[in-house]
Amino acid sequence: MQPLAERLRPQTLDDYIGQKHLVGQGAVLRRMLDSGAISSFILWGPPGVGKTTLAKIIANRLERPFYTLSAVTSGVKDVREVIDKAKNNRFFNSATPILFIDEIHRFSKSQQDSLLGAVEQGIVTLIGATTENPSFEVITPLLSRSQVYVLKPLEESDLQELLTRALTTDVELKKYEIQIAETEALFRFAGGDARKLLNIIELMVNAAEGVVLINNETVTERLQQNPAAYDKNGEQHYDIISAFIKSIRGSDPDAAIYWLARMVAGGEDPKFIARRLMISAAEDIGLANPNALLIANACFEGLQKIGWPEGRILLAEATVYLASSPKSNSAYLAIDKALAEVEQSGNLPVPLHLRNSPTKLMKKLGYGADYKYSHDYPNNFVEQQYLPEKMKNKHFWLPQNNPAEQKLSDWLRKLWKNRF
């Protein structure tokens, strides 16, 4: 038997719940459908808000061939095969087929490049779905040929409408006596996600004996007894990434790899993990081992080139390296201390000798005068004032007790003598 969410998947726009700003009367996608002319676009929004459903409704409404690929399981070869199929099955003057790509943000650059020609030539109309910001995840040429439409989490009124529809129209649910006493916990745990709401209802029905009572207490109890293995958009998502980063910060590579495995097995976006590794490399390892940031950045760039599933190996290497590295947050503390000073002191003037002087008037006013070019002096250094006058003796960066930063500190003391 199909899951409840699949049984209730709407077939027409009139049955579609939510996203009135896109599909309501007079809205942009409704007008596009009414005209029968549709261009490539990307649907950006959280899970369970109707991206896939909307793409299928559009294809059905326009009576076009509909091809679908999942970025999780498809490679460049699969993309080319679908494009060839769309090209070969298209008859003279027939409508352009629609190619729907779920989780398009997981496509590597080469996979996205393989789509570009087909979109440019009108072989397919692309509809992409993504939970990530397309500006960061979709290549610029593809993005410039597609409109981006933002889908929002379902509002409480939408969830209420969906709940009512489920209870009144689903043949399987009608077999049970379901009493809705409270909906606050039900809607809160659903978090604007239609699929999650229907999954919770199904869980409540399957766990009940006799009357199915839905109130805040029973919903909370059932969900605590049956936690999802990994909810990449819910509370556990944040708990696990927190445990991952804290394990790296705490220099425990075993724990860090375990939490990485939890995220990989749960379908977390690998680029999200890679971005967090870059932040950790700068924030937690910092100047104690500057190579950590290079490794993390190489991991991120490598992921974009080779994609999934081999990308897990790059993540594992970076994770172990970062967790095993000496730690320092001196750069992180320095920038926050400097920002606090800027907030307090305001826009202090730049010393005249440090100012840019591109015009004769500026030079006449003393801009750049008396500036000493460091490379003209021994050790490429000459002592002069770089901070504003009011804070010339301030210190923001304080080296911590590790070999790399002690080496930097010793060099600065050699140059500046009394200042450091």
How many Å apart are CA 125 and CA 135, to the nearest integer? 20
Using the predicted structure, report yes or no on whether residue 373 has a pLDDT greater than 90.
no
Band (pLDDT 50/70/90 cuts) for residue 43 is very high
Domain ranges of the chain: 19-150, 156-225, 235-324, 349-416
Which stretches within 250-356 are classed as H helix?
Answer: 253-265, 270-280, 291-306, 311-324, 330-345
Question: Which residues neighbour 75 within 8 Å (Cβ) at sequence distance 6 or greater?
Answer: 111, 307
Using the predicted structure, report yes or no on whether residue 127 has a pLDDT greater than 70.
yes
How many Å apart are CA 365 and CA 367, to the nearest integer? 6
Per-residue pLDDT reduced to its tens digit, 11-24: 888 889 999 999 98
> Average of pLDDT values for 195-212?
87
> Average of pLDDT values for 405-409?
82
pLDDT given for residue 169 in this prediction: 93
> How many residues are listed for the chain in this entry?
420
pLDDT given for residue 139 in this prediction: 86
Helical (H) or strand (E) element with 70:
strand 66-70
Residue whose pair of structure tokens reads 């709940």 in the numeric block: 163
| Cβ 407 vs Cβ 400: under 8 Å | no
Residue 228 neighbours by CB distance under 10 Å: 12
The CATH class that applies to domain 156-225 reads: mainly alpha
Degrees, nearest 5: CA angle 110-237-287 = 75
Using the predicted structure, report yes or no on whether residue 41 has a pLDDT greater than 90.
yes
> Average of pLDDT values for 275-283?
92
| Cβ 47 vs Cβ 104: under 8 Å | no
Using the predicted structure, report yes or no on whether residue 350 has a pLDDT greater than 80.
no
pLDDT given for residue 237 in this prediction: 64
Structure tokens at 73: 């399981």
pLDDT given for residue 292 in this prediction: 92
Q: What's the fold here for domain 349-416?
A: post-AAA+ oligomerization domain-like (1.10.3710)
pLDDT given for residue 91 in this prediction: 64
Using the predicted structure, report yes or no on whether residue 278 has a pLDDT greater than 60.
yes
Per-residue pLDDT reduced to its tens digit, 80-121: 888 888 888 766 567 788 889 888 888 888 888 888 888 888
How many Å apart are CA 52 and CA 36, to the nearest integer? 19
pLDDT given for residue 308 in this prediction: 76
Choose the weakest-confidence range: 25-34, 150-159, 315-324, 381-390: 381-390
Longest pairwise C-alpha distance within the chain: 91
Buried b (16+ CB within 10 A) or exposed e, 103-141: bbbbbbeebbebbeebbeeebbbbbbbbbbebeebbbee
Helical (H) or strand (E) element with 129:
strand 125-130
Question: Which residues neighbour 49 within 8 Å (Cβ) at sequence distance 6 or greater?
Answer: 18, 19, 151, 152, 153, 154, 192, 193, 194
| Cβ 23 vs Cβ 29: under 8 Å | yes
pLDDT given for residue 420 in this prediction: 66
Using the predicted structure, report yes or no on whether residue 358 has a pLDDT greater than 70.
no
pLDDT given for residue 375 in this prediction: 80
Degrees, nearest 5: CA angle 250-255-256 = 75
Per-residue pLDDT reduced to its tens digit, 253-270: 888 898 898 888 777 788
> Average of pLDDT values for 134-154?
88
Band (pLDDT 50/70/90 cuts) for residue 319 is very high
The CATH class that applies to domain 235-324 reads: mainly alpha
Using the predicted structure, report yes or no on whether residue 365 has a pLDDT greater than 70.
no
Band (pLDDT 50/70/90 cuts) for residue 156 is very high
Asked if CATH classification 3.40.50.12780 holds for the domain at 19-150, the reply, yes or no, is: no
Degrees, nearest 5: CA angle 23-100-18 = 25
Using the predicted structure, report yes or no on whether residue 396 has a pLDDT greater than 70.
yes
pLDDT given for residue 229 in this prediction: 37
Residue 368: phi, psi to the nearest 5? Answer: 80, -5
